[in-house]
Amino acid sequence: MESTTEPLSPDLLRRFDTPGPRYTSYPTADRFIEAFGPADAVRALGQRGHGGAALGATPLSVYVHIPFCESVCYYCACNKVITKHHERAAEYLDALDTEIELVGRAMGERQAVSQLHFGGGSPTFLANTELEHVMASLKRAFRLQPGAELSIEVDPRTVTAERLAHLSHLGFNRISFGVQDFDPQVQRAVHRIQPFEQVRDLMLAARSLGFESINADLIYGLPCQTPESFSRTVQQIAELKPDRIALYAYAHLPQRFKPQRRIVPEELPNAAQRVQMLGGAIAGFLGHGYTYIGMDHFALPGDSLAIAKRQGRLHRNFQGYSTQPDCDLIGLGVSAIGRVGATYSQNAKTLPEYYDALRQGQLPVVRGIALSRDDLVRRAVIMALMCQGRVEFESIELAHFVNMREYFSRELDELEDMARAGLVHVEPHAIQVTAAGWYLVRAVAMVFDKHLQGDKLRERFSRVI
């Protein structure tokens, strides 16, 4: 997918910059139902353990959610627990042990894991010994494959070079620094103070320790940001040369996320400024040699994500873009979401509910969904758009036994408006997202979202730009 640095016109923004999902899954998590519970999750795990896994057909990824943070960042929409009482982690780790054991028992044998990711919250809220404890529990239940990707999210304010060395010792080979923005005024507005020099020194330390991939997370659309101030952050990050950069659009949804109510709405940049920031960031990172992976990711050409992009192997899951297509995902911890076979499941969102389920000896799954045949077809189309910017009709037809032009006749008619706007080309046997359309690829994907059609509650989602 080639990219553009030209800003979208105000007319295109008005027409297509609407609220919509980020499509880390399809159907999206808001479509999960409470009728899908622990027994359904156990059944799906058992089918994997005694079926597809034995054939080695589907890779396995594991996500571990650590919800604790010492202080609140006002922009944050993650499931988190703000506390300075580190002793609260002990009860959580005991519960996590139980969940890991239950998942392992449901699958029947130790599964080979090729990806492991710790997210949060702030995983580095845990002490070194506590991280050792979690890793030991995981290794009892799963077989970490040689060369597996082991990644962890790091709050730069909570680690030193010595702690990074310990993470390396535990086996983590990929590290992601939450940066968001280097501008002091923006940092004050979102309650996250971390000077450029602090992040620079930690990245240098991580590189000297031999981490295979160093990632930096940025957010555009934060209060007090301007296109000019954000271009300075882009320049500073590019100079540090992390292997990957995740660039997220801030979604201001204060009715859903209480910390965001501390953000002053008048200080937020407008839609035109946000597009200018996005276009400037794309131009800036491309100018420093990065590959534009997709909606919110950049990588250096030699990084595995860039290689997967070139080879058509990109996948999208709850952590964003991934190198493993069709990957089952075990989600561990409060609020974690998993995907096994044709099912999704989500754990309880509060600690009391999470603990209570595990005390009763059952998985803490409170909702999920078993995908229908229609869901599977639409997921394939949406993920092709989100990951490759192109849908080849033949590949969908062979995999799902449908005729694309008949099955999606209404959707293809709807795409004509986007085609006239220059966002897509509808070819005889394919759909191709244009460079300009990549800004609005979520809007293109929404055309194929059956659950969203006629939905009157789209405002619960973030806007496309």
As its CATH architecture, domain 1-27+373-465 has: Orthogonal Bundle (1.10)
- pLDDT at site 394: 96
Please compute the mean of the pLDDT values over residues 149-163 and round it to a whole number: 94
pLDDT at res. 238: 95
Q: Residue 153: in which H helix or E strand, if any? A: strand 142-154
Could you give the C-alpha distances from 114 to 59, 164, 269, 372, in angstroms and in order? 7, 22, 40, 28
Grade residue 55 by pLDDT with cuts at 50, 70 and 90.
very low
pLDDT band at 385 (very low <50, low <70, confident <90, very high): very high
CA distances from 37 to 24, 366, 369, 376 (A): 21, 6, 9, 20
Specify the amino acid at residue 138.
L
Q: What is the pLDDT of residue 438?
A: 81
What is the spatial order of strands in the sheet that 213-220 belongs to?
Answer: 291-294, 297-299, 244-249, 213-220, 174-180, 142-154, 111-120, 60-66, 328-332, 337-340, 343-347, 365-370
Band of residue 10 on the pLDDT scale cut at 50, 70, 90: low
Q: Locate the domains of the chain by residue range.
A: 1-27+373-465, 30-332
Fold of the domain spanning 30-332: pyruvate-formate lyase- activating enzyme (3.80.30)
pTM: 0.90
Please report the pLDDT score of residue 1 as a whole number.
43
Say yes or no to pLDDT of 12 above 80: no
Task: Note the pLDDT of residue 459.
Answer: 55
pLDDT at 193: 94
93 pLDDT higher than 60: yes
Q: Model confidence over 176-220: pLDDT tens digits?
A: 999 999 999 999 999 999 999 999 999 999 999 999 999 999 999
The pLDDT mean for the chain works out to 90
Extract the annotated binding site: 63, 69, 73, 75-77, 120, 153, 180, 192, 217, 251, 337
Reported confidence tier of residue 49, pLDDT bands at 50, 70, 90 = confident
Q: How far is CA 376 from CA 249, 401, 431, in A?
A: 28, 12, 18
Q: What is the pLDDT of residue 138?
A: 97
Average pLDDT for residues 290-313, to the nearest whole number?
A: 88
- Percent with pLDDT over 90 in the chain: 69
pLDDT of 395 higher than 90: yes
pLDDT exceeds cutoff 70 at 33: yes
Which of residues 109 and 449 earns the better pLDDT score? 449
Numbered residues of the known binding site for [4Fe-4S] cluster: 69, 73, 76
Q: Residue 448's pLDDT band (boundaries 50, 70, 90)?
A: very high
Burial classification of residue 330, based on how many CB atoms lie within 10 Å of its CB (0-12 exposed, 13-18 middle, 19 or more buried): buried
Binding residues for S-adenosyl-L-methionine: 63, 75-77, 120, 153, 180, 192, 217, 251, 337
